[in-house]
Amino acid sequence: MTTMTETASGLREFKMPDVGEGLTEAEILKWYVQPGDTVTDGQVVCEVETAKAAVELPIPYDGVVHELRFPEGTTVDVGQVIISVDVGGGAAPAAPPVAQAPVEAPAAAVPAPAAASAPSDEAAAEQAEPEGRKPVLVGYGVSVSSTKRRPRRGVPARQPEAAASVQRELNGHAAPAEAAAPVAPAAPVAPAAPAARPLAKPPVRKLAKDLGVDLAVVVPSGPDGIITREDVHAAVAPAPVAEPAVTEAPPAPAAPVRTAVTAPSVAYDGVRETRIPVKGVRKATAAAMVGSAFTAPHVTEFVTVDVTRTMKLVEELKQDKDMQGLRVNPLLLISKALLVAIRRNPDVNASWDEANQEIVRKHYVNLGIAAATPRGLIVPNIKDAHAKALPQLAEALGELVGTAREGRTSPAAMQGGTVTITNVGVFGVDTGTPILNPGESAILAVGSIKPQPWVHKGKVKPRQVTTLALSFDHRLVDGELGSKVLADVAAVLEQPKRLITWG
């Protein structure tokens, strides 16, 4: 699909491309440029979110940004023009549509400075916005938060004096007037420009919109007059009502009467409900899980196993020179144990073709690792994991973590999986009953590993124990096959030397 067109005036229009696997739409998460900015071929101009992942879009030519067609947060169909660039220097930059209509100032406010000197409230909000959360990889049990942010290009610097003047007027804190003195009649003045918008981050603006709060009447408490979430909540909370003064002597106390006491309604931070649009990764995941749960007949089996020897091997591998610089943790050996079990029971690595009424047996393993992100659940997979030695598997898992940390898992990395591991133990739970990833026949859930009393060599001793749960599609995996796979995984983790004898 062509992603750019050129007009007679020297403007080139860049269209929303198909960013992977036939997706039809994407949401604009972030613009990195503004009208008037100079861009070069290959420069990233925006970040979009599809039903699979967040993707950065580079511009394919040099020029000056003329117009941004859609504001952040808009869902755009593939093929629609999202940005135009002047490649000949002849067209004047258009006013960006991303700016919202200015909020009218209160009646007591004085006219704001002219538009040419108005501060960039978006720039101030961007500077003050806290670091966003990045994905947490479920398969690793570690937080992979990232603090990397991209500076906004082409945004004019704030003018503190003008901003402070406007904000004082909006908040009703104008400087005291000087002593009155006779003055000549004022000359006619040009109409004042609209008052600048109150300074607030995009999430705070959305919160105010959801709660029906006008930001123009909210008193800011943040740095540089920026409105915070607490300020919005304070504007929602009802003002305390003063008790009326008692002017007469109170009547004599009546006899005590027993009455039922009703607990007051409790709201979190003054908010009773919050509605969140379902879109992007969350929407795709919901549809996939519903389709899987009500299409494939799920069966889940459990086994509790002593993994003390596996935990000792993990510590030994961390000191091994062949594993230096690689991520070594229990998930690495659990992944290897599942690959060994699949090699011993290849029929479990298959999918069900409903249209052709066929079982498709896979002679390769693309091992998926479930990852929880702020945008929803994603399952990137390691291609041809069955062919990788332990160091190669560790390297592949490490790359998967790094990609998830940056929030840059590509749609291709989440396609073609054959079997999945989900590590619910990172949340401190014993196990779960996972739902199959669509198109796969099995998923292994790993519970938390913790010391428990265990009979070892005829005596009760504290051992490292975990519970595994294997869900499988009963159309193509019967109880015997599913039980063999789960038992083999447990046997390898109990005696990791089987990685050699069975490998």
Provide the annotated active-site residues: 474
Q: 136 with 109: CB under 8 angstroms?
A: no
H/E stretch holding 404 reads helix 390-406
Phi–psi pair at 288, nearest 5 degrees: -65, -40
Q: Name residue, tokens 């196993």.
A: 305
* Contact predicate 314/330, CB 8 Å: yes
The residue among 51, 69, 95 whose CA lies nearest residue 14 is 69
Helix (H, G, I), strand (E, B) or coil at 112: coil
> By C-alpha distance, which of 223, 191, 15 is closest to 112?
191
Sign of the CA dihedral with 74 first, then 79, 80, and 85 last: positive
Location of structure tokens 């995941």 = 285
Query: Please, which residues bridge with residue 456 across strands?
Result: 459
3-state secondary structure of 142: strand
* CA 202 to chain CA mean position, Å: 15
Residues contacting residue 430 through CB under 8 Å, at least 6 positions apart = 447, 448, 467
C-alpha to C-alpha distance for 120 and 146, rounded to whole angstroms: 27
Q: Position of tokens 């990045």?
A: 134
Phi and psi based region of residue 285 (left: phi greater than 0; alpha: psi -120 to 50; beta: remaining): alpha
Helix (H, G, I), strand (E, B) or coil at 244: coil
Q: How far apart are CA 241 and CA 243, in angstroms?
A: 6
Is the CB of residue 305 less than 8 Å from the CB of residue 401? no
